Amino acid sequence: MEEVSAAPDGAQAAIESIEPRRSVLFRADALRTKELAANIDQVAIVFAPQPAFNLHFVWRALVAARAAQIARLVVLNKTDLPDAGGARAALDELAALGERTIAVSAKAEPENARSQLAPEFAHRATLLVGQSGMGKSTILNLLVPDANARTREYSVKLNQGRQTTTASRWFAFGADGAIVDSPGFQAFGLAHLSIHQLAACLPEFAPHLGRCRFNDCRHLEEPDCAVRAAVEAGAISPARYAFYRQLAAEVAR
């Protein structure tokens, strides 16, 4: 989503300049870096109990957003499902780490979901991300009721026979907000980040960074590492530290 300066030109407008970007969210693997969206104010990461969600996807998206200095909102959808306990526990853990969280059931309790979500999306440009099947489209259509119709119109103009799911789409929301709906994807690579950026983007690491013996400590095998000591003391979850080690191995390749 680019911000431009334009001048009226009859029934159209001529772009005069493209403004500097306020923010850019990336994901990357070993082969390429992909821009997901620019000039957004927050990332809303949607997950649900079914289909089986990948918690590391959520964690990775949070790291990417923190690295880009973009606000984050974690949305647990489909809370009406009987097996939502594990997903709720994961959401509670993220809330304890300081992340903004919301639990909704966009399909079963639409009015309640709308009343919770709308204030969080108002006056902001929000990127919706999530694995396929998590209910992003349901949430989008709850907040932007004509989103399906507008997407179908767009597909017809592109001479496509069905709704496109391969490109991000921008929708106005309220007087001055916007929602950018990204295609569902399964992997969220962070190869564009350094190992020190990864550590800085895990909030539970923050109290311990700068307290290691070595200034350039990677928090892996180095002696007198404050982060590893925090793991052993129970201040950092072993699961989250294992996640960090996995990311560190990926960016080192």
pLDDT digits (tens, 9 = 90+) for 189-214: 999 999 999 999 999 999 999 999 99
End-to-end CA, the chain: 31
- pLDDT of res. 164: 43
Q: Which of 238, 242, 245, 235 is nearest to 206 (CA)?
A: 235
DSSP string, 3-16: -EEEEEETTEEEEE
The reply to whether 21 and 138 lie within a common domain is yes
Taking the CA atoms of the chain, what radius of gyration do you get in angstroms?
A: 20
pLDDT at 156 > cutoff 80: no
The reply to whether 18 and 84 lie within a common domain is yes
DSSP state letter for 190? B
Residue 190 lies inside a defined structural domain of this protein: no
Alpha-helical runs (H) found in 26-144: 55-67, 85-96, 110-121, 136-143
Domain housing 118: 4-181
The reply to whether 170 and 201 lie within a common domain is no
Residue 187 lies inside a defined structural domain of this protein: no
Residue 188 lies inside a defined structural domain of this protein: no
Query: CB count, 10 Å around CB of 141?
Result: 18
The reply to whether 160 and 228 lie within a common domain is no
Contact 57, 86 (CB under 8 A): no
The count of structural domains within the chain is 2
pLDDT at 157 > cutoff 60: no
